[in-house]
Amino acid sequence: DIQLTQSPSFLSASVGDRVTITCRASQGINNYLAWYQQKPGKAPKLLIYVASTLRSGVPSRFSGSGSGTEFTLTISSLQPEDFATYYCQQLNSYPRTFGQGTKLEIK
């Protein structure tokens, strides 16, 4: 199985900050990586797919990059509604593993 390791697990930041979350895969995943945002009590929502493609309707302050085994999600200027937990997911093979999550909190 492919393991995904996200870092950091917790991140404290302020409105307006630029933040980056990293997701490392235990082997190559052909860039078949998605990023999701989840708020408490709600279902996850897709942000980015195939490593760097922004889902329609997602603000442009979100961006994804990377290739091979290392990928990043960047939020260029944090807004109050961005404080949530973020997950990466690989869809290169089964099982469709997720990273352990990064909780983004207000400083």
Residues that bind another protein (CB under 8 A): 32, 34, 36, 38, 43-46, 49-50, 55, 87, 89, 91, 94-101
Min dist. Cβ of residue 79 to another protein (A): 21
| Nearer to another protein among residue 32 and residue 83 (C-beta) | 32
Min dist. Cβ of residue 73 to another protein (A): 14
Q: Are 14 and 73 in contact (CB under 8 A)?
A: no
Min dist. Cβ of residue 39 to another protein (A): 12
Interatomic CA distance for residues 44 and 77, integer angstroms: 21
| Nearer to another protein among residue 50 and residue 106 (C-beta) | 50
| Nearer to another protein among residue 22 and residue 100 (C-beta) | 100
Interatomic CA distance for residues 93 and 75, integer angstroms: 27
- The residue ranges of DSSP E strands in 8-106, in sequence order, are 10-13, 19-25, 33-38, 45-49, 53-54, 62-67, 70-75, 85-90, 102-106
